[in-house]
Amino acid sequence: MKLGLLTAAFPDLTLEEIAIWAHDNGFEALEIACWPSSGSEHRRYAGVAHVDVHDFNAKEVRKLLGRYDLEISSLAYYPNNLDPDADARQAANDHLRRVVEAAQLLGVETVGTFVGRDQRRSVAENLEDFKRVWPPLVRHAREHGVRIAIENCPMIFSADEWPGGRNLAYSPALWRQMFEIIPDENFGLNFDPSHLVWQFIDYTRAVREFAPRIFHVHAKDMEIDRDGLYDEGVMSLGLGWQVPRLPGLGEVRWDRFISALYAIGYDWVVSIEHEDRNFEGELELVQRGFLLARNTLRPLVV
Q: What φ, ψ does residue 17 adopt, rounded to 5°?
A: -60, -40
Domains and CATH numbers, the chain: 2-297 (3.20.20.150)
Residue 254 main-chain phi, psi, to 5 deg: -65, -30
Would you state the pLDDT for residue 47? 84
Pairing assessment for the beta strands 110-113 and 71-76 based on DSSP bridges? parallel
Nearest to 138 by CA among 172, 99, 186: 186
Q: Over 70: is that where the pLDDT of 245 sits?
A: yes
Mean pLDDT, range 137-161, rounded to an integer: 95
Model confidence at 51, pLDDT cuts 50, 70, 90, reads: very high
Residue 228 backbone dihedrals phi, psi, to 5 degrees? -65, -40
Between 199 and 45, name the one with better pLDDT: 199
Residue-level pLDDT at 39: 61
Please state, rounded to an integer, the average pLDDT across all residues of the chain: 96
pTM recorded for the entire structure: 0.96
Kindly state the average pLDDT of the residues 267-287: 97
Per-residue confidence band for 102, with pLDDT thresholds at 50, 70 and 90: very high
In the predicted model, what is the mean pLDDT of residues 134-160? 96
pLDDT band at 38 (very low <50, low <70, confident <90, very high): confident
pLDDT given at position 40? 59
Q: Could you give the angle at the alpha carbon of 72 between the alpha carbons of 64 and 33, nearest 5°?
A: 90
Per-residue pLDDT at 45 exceeds 90: no
Determine the Cα–Cα distance for residues 43 and 48; give it in Å rounded to an integer: 10
pLDDT average, residue stretch 25-43: 86
